[in-house]
């Protein structure tokens, strides 16, 4: 026996796959010599020492001369390339993502097999639960409505029968406060006492989103008329999560006269309503 040749060489297979190797011995003239080799492996997987059945491991790489067949003092080797397995999961980054209205965010998607090895993908991007739009490259543009849009960004790869997808949640935050909006009008006016329905005022951005991070804006109610009406009770309310709720405000004025209530704060567009005690 002069040489041992292993087939196939090289061998390529996916993680956890199997490959049957065979070994042929020859003398120095190239004549076949019967052998019963002992099989061994350096790395990349395991091999049955008797049959030569190789089982790939979970790490993709090329393992040069890793499979060895030995007979006596003569041995032959073969190289194994282990490739990633089938796509099993897609992870989107960032997740979650927070951005202002009309802002953009670049999303990326990484595919991995069941063992956590990276699998190259070219995902298809979609938005499935509103919140904005997304392009073919994963560039997301937030819409004009603030809120949390759970699992709205979706990256998909694969055929119809074997589709794998991942999702990401987007939180769109309001823009800068620009206006006051009455969400509950004052009602039930009786001169000299608190309104039976107290006014509620929201601090909103230019697109009508409540600025839920605002916990400091002080809203003041005033009354305008030519009949000398005055405000009674607490004329101010401080916003909590972007909403200012009055509790004891009312007006003192002439019964049957219509008055204009103005709700204002520095730097924001005011809100108004009419009321008649």
- Give me 159's structure tokens: 């055929």
Residues 105-121 pLDDT 10s? 999 999 999 999 999 99
In sequence order, what are the residues at sequence separation of 6 or more whose Cβ sits closer than 8 angstroms to the Cβ of residue 251? 189, 191, 223, 229, 230, 231, 232, 259, 261, 275, 277
Residues 10-48 pLDDT 10s? 999 999 999 999 999 999 999 999 999 999 999 999 999
Least confident residue range of 26-30, 92-96, 162-166, 189-193: 162-166
Give 158's pLDDT tier (boundaries 50, 70, 90).
confident
Q: According to the model, what pLDDT value does residue 205 have? A: 96
Nearest by Cα to 153 from 96, 210, 103: 96
Q: According to the model, what pLDDT value does residue 228 have? A: 83
**Residues above pLDDT 90, as percent of the chain:** 96
């Amino acid at each position: 026996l002069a040489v041992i040749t292993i087939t196939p060489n090289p061998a390529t297979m996916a993680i956890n796959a199997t490959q049957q190797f065979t070994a042929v011995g020859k003398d120095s003239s190239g004549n076949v010599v019967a052998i019963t080799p002992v099989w061994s492996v350096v790395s990349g997987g395991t091999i049955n020492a008797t049959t030569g059945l190789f089982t790939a491991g979970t790490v993709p790489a090329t393992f040069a001369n890793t499979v060895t067949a030995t007979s006596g003092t003569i041995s032959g080797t073969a190289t194994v390339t282990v490739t990633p397995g089938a796509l099993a999961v897609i992870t989107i980054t960032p997740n979650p993502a927070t951005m202002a209205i009309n802002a953009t965010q670049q999303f990326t998607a990484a595919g991995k097999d069941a063992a956590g090895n990276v699998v190259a993908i070219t995902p298809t991007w979609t938005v499935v639960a509103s919140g904005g739009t997304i392009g073919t490259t994963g560039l997301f543009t937030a819409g004009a409505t603030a809120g949390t849009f759970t699992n709205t960004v979706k990256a998909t790869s694969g055929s119809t029968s074997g589709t794998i997808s991942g999702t990401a949640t987007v939180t769109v935050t309001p823009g800068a406060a620009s206006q006051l909006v009455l969400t509950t009008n004052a009602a039930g006016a009786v001169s000299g006492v608190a309104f039976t329905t107290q006014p509620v005022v929201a601090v909103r951005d230019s697109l009508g989103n409540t600025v839920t991070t605002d916990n400091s804006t002080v809203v003041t109610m005033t009354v305008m008329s030519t009949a000398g009406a005055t405000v009674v009770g607490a004329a101010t309310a401080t916003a909590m999560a972007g909403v200012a709720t009055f509790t004891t405000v009312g007006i003192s004025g002439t019964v049957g006269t219509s008055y204009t209530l103005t709700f204002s704060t520095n730097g924001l567009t005011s809100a108004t309503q009419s009321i008649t005690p």
